Amino acid sequence: MIAFVGGFAYTLTIMGCIVHVDNSRFFRKMMKIFLAELGLESLDFECGEDALFSLGGSKVSCLITGLELADMTGEDLIRRMNLYGSSPMTVIAVTSSMDERRVRALAALGVKAVIQKGGDWKEKLREYF
């Protein structure tokens, strides 16, 4: 898969394409380091529109998304990726607060896991890689 970010083309070959979208620059950096420690490459974006534009309908192996993005909700991003043909095989949501109704709604969208930021998020996420 080739994605265009900041005018540069990136080719991801390890485990397909892992995309991380989160409005927290700090958390994006922590996630990138964590995935690199596992030997995985990822593309990270601050907002959903940037991710959708850069992916251009390319297939995504795994989407890790925050629920409150700068320009849309995580649910909106998942719906739009499905609509534009980038349907991720695995979707993992990360959030700072757990809401049972929202967790059920995310499951209905095909989200495999909802992981709370903080604490042992790395250990919980490691189960999926």
Contact by Cβ (8 Å): 119, 86: no
Q: What confidence tens digit (pLDDT) does each residue in 26-79 have?
A: 999 999 999 999 999 899 999 999 999 988 878 888 999 999 999 999 999 999
Q: How do beta strands 2-5 and 8-11 pair?
A: antiparallel
Q: How far apart are CA 43 and CA 6, in angstroms?
A: 11
List domains and CATH numbers for the chain: 2-126 (3.40.50.2300)
Indicate whether 24 pLDDT > 80: yes
Contact by Cβ (8 Å): 16, 35: no
Q: What percent of the chain has pLDDT over 90?
A: 61
Give the tokens for residue 76. 């909106």
* Per-residue confidence (pLDDT) for residue 19, from 0 to 100: 94
Strand, coil or helix: 75:
helix
Is the pLDDT higher at 20 or at 54? 20
Between 1-5, 19-23, 74-78, 99-103, the lowest mean confidence (pLDDT) is in 1-5
